[in-house]
Structure formats: C-alpha cells, structure tokens
Amino acid sequence: MEHTQLGRTGLQVSRLCLGTMNFGPQTEEKDSFAIMDKALELGINFFDTANVYGWKIGEGVTEQIVGRWFAQGGGRREKTVIATKVYGRMGEWPNESRLSALHIRQAVEGSLKRLQTDHIDLYQMHHVDRNTPWEEIWQAMEVLVGQGKVLYVGSSNFAGWHIARAQEAAVRRNFFGLVSEQSLYNLDARTVELEVLPACRAYGLGVIPWSPLWGGLLGGVLEKIEKGRRASDEMAKRIEENRPKLEKWEAFCKELGEQPADVALAWLLKDPVVTAPIIGPRTLDQLTGSLRALELKLDEQALKKLDEIFPGPGGEAPEAYAW
C-alpha cells in the first residue's frame, strides 16, 4: 500500500480511503468488522465516516459500529487515521445541526462517545454553513484542537471561494485551518476542476474524492448486467440515461485490459492534489479488488481518450470559459 501526506500536513495516510457509509444500512456489523480488519492488513490506515451515517437521526449507527470495532483492541485505534464529520441533523431541536459553536461542541462529544476514542484525527465540516461566521467556527475548532479532541480540520462539499474565505480567516487567527477537502469527483463529475482543485493546491489541502465510481456506474455495470446481475430500478434508469457513454467507457477499459473501477480510481490518483479516493466496499472482494488502481499508470493517449468520453469543464477557471 502506498502512503502519502495529507495535504500540507506531516500526517501519512493510505492512497485509498476506506469509506464506511455502507456499514449498518447495507453491510452487517460482523462483515463490517472483517472489512476493516482486512483494510488494516492491506495497509489502508485512512477510514472515513460521519455522524449521520446509518441514516437514523441522532443515533450515529455507523460511528457506533466503528467504535465497537476499535473497542476490540489489538492496535486497531492506534493504526487508524479516523475521519468523521459534523453538520448534519442529529436531533429535532434548533441547534442540533449545522456549524454553530454550540452544535460543534455537542457533535464532537457525541462522535467521541460513539467512536469510543479520546480524539478524532480529521474532523470535517460536512457542508458549508452560510449562516455561521468563520470567526465562530474557527474559535470552536481551536478549542477542540487545544483540548486534544481534534487533531486536524477538513471540509467537505465546499466551493473554491469557501475554502479561500475559510483559510484567510484562519490565517488571521494564526490557526492552521483546513488540511483537506472531500469533494464529489469522478470522471463524469469534474466541476471541481474549475476552482476547488486549484484552491486546494494553492492552500495546501489534500483532496479526498467521494463517489469516485459515479455511484457504481464506472464499475463495469454493463458487463455485470450481461452476466445476469439485476440492477435496481434506480440504477437501471441511470444506466439507460448514460448508456452511450458507458458503452464507450467499458469498451475502452477492455482495450486497456483493465477493470473499469481500477481505471476510474487510477485516473483520480494521477493528480498530485488528490490524496485518497474514498472506496466504499460492501464486501471483502470489493475491497481487495481496488488495489490494482495503485499500480495502474495511464499514459497521455489514455488520458486523452478518457477526456473524449467524459469531457471535463475545460481546465481551470477562468481559462476554461474565457481567455
């Protein structure tokens, strides 16, 4: 397993990040434990979760599963760089969501309890809160860092200008600020190339792409259907809407002699600003099957072909749309 620094920090994390969103809703606890054990065995030390995962308001189902896994001991917690998130609704009262200082304080205590740990390695704001000033947010985060409850702070689903405002506010307070941005980024969803990736590069943030396989569409869905696997109604609709593009995609992957999922991940990993795409395996086979992406290097001809199949926004702003 390759490891790299997370953004401008000295923290070493694996080039693949284990996403836990399926733990609970789709993957039973014992299977979730097996996947996490296997991830550590493979050298994957970077795990991502969120207080809302499990989708039962206030329960933090997935965090609890990870916490019970940590509680088994055996160095599990010590070997893992755990990332979780704050913003989502954790109750019905007015201050049980978003990024007020009050909610940040309540949310971190809840996550620490569910995760059965005394600190969170990377605490990510799950979404920008346009109603809370950065002075308030950073003051709350500074307290948590000072208490040792949080080591690093990251963002998720931020625009480029949100990152710039956050970092400039942090600099004024002599605070380290953001170290990472977790964004929707894959071959089909490339909007972040306009301003988010340049902002991350300029401010020293590592990019953590979520949905790197476009919700499964880049994982060879056409071939799987041909082999008799049934897609959900929603997935079937998405496949038909994108069939011409997917046919070209899977045909090109066959030409390369590579699995589509591996090509999709390798394409993301080519950019130095990308720290680790989030893989969300439901089974052990899906986990171990992701490792080929780390070895796969795409040449200029392959990258050009992928741009033809999945045209991006044209590069960085403003050159992408102006001179």
Active site residues per annotation: 53
What does R_g of the chain's alpha carbons equal in angstroms?
Answer: 20
E strands, the chain, where?
3-5, 12-14, 17-19, 46-48, 81-86, 120-125, 150-156, 178-184, 206-210, 278-279
- Residue type for position 131: N
Q: Which residue has the tokens 């002599």?
A: 174
- Report yes or no: 105 and 112 within 8 Å, Cβ to Cβ: no
Name which of 101, 27, 97, 85 is nearest 58 in CA terms. 97
CA distance 161 to 136: 18
Residue type, 224: K
